[in-house]
Each structure stands twice: as structure tokens, then as C-alpha cells.
Amino acid sequence: MQNPPPVQVSSQPPVQAGKSSTGLDENIAALLSYVFGWVSGLIFFLMEKDSRLVRFHAMQSILLSAAAIVIGIVFWIVAVVSSLVVSYISGILGGIVWIVMMLAGFLIGLGIVIGAIICLVKAFQGQYFKLPVIGNFAEKFSTK
């Protein structure tokens, strides 16, 4: 009975991530631009001079955070106004509308968090992953 060979070594050299002007690897800098939302996105967008990947993900982080804030504010206003209007008709219906709106808000927030996690993973893999609508704007603003 033969023992299997020890660790298989690939004949291909490992893929090297390019360096960004921040001194970090491109994929690490792109990932870090999502960690603290628009703040880290803005820091990496302003600091990065060379890497298009880092600038793209930094701008997408800024735009994703801004969209999340705007959606949150608009949704909150709609939830409060609709539940107040319906509560004048019936207090129970107002409560039901409030609960439904909060569940919908939770699902929207969960969708935004899942989108951010996908962006984190794709940035770490060194891929350009464009979110719907936001990704096109991020690409346009990051190439200037």
C-alpha cells in the first residue's frame, strides 16, 4: 500500500495582488473602503491615486452608504405618516400598518447589508462588482 504524495504543489506562480498608492494590496484597500461605510470609502477615495479598483470600490461604498441613508430617512417618513393617517381611521389598523412597515424596513435594511457583504467579498477577490444603478455611477465617478 502506497502513501499518497505529500502536499501537491502547483506549477503556476501565485497571483500577486497589485499595490495601491496607500501601500496596501489593492484587494485589502478595496475591502477596507467598505468597512466603515462612507467614512472609509471617502478616505480611500481621496488617498488613492493609482488603483482604479480601489477608487471604484471606495466610490461604490460612498454611494451605497448615501443611498442607504436616503432610503432609511424616506422610508421612516413614509412609515410614520402612513401609520398616523391610518390610525385616525382605526387605532388597530394604524398599529398593523406600523408593524408591516417596520418589517418591510427590516427587509430593506437586510438587503442593503447583504449587498454590502457581497461587495466586501468581491472587493477582497479583486473583482469589479457593480451594484445595480449605484455601480454605474461609481464607475463613472472613479475614472475621473
Taking only the tens place, the pLDDT of each residue in 83-120 is 889 888 888 888 898 899 999 999 999 999 999 999 99
User: b/e string for 75-104 if b means 16 or more Cβ within 10 A?
Assistant: beeebeeebeebbeeeeeebeebbeebeee
Query: What is the value of pTM for the model shown?
Result: 0.79
Give the tens place of pLDDT for each residue, 54-68.
999 999 999 999 999
φ, ψ of residue 95 to 5 degrees: the values are -65, -40
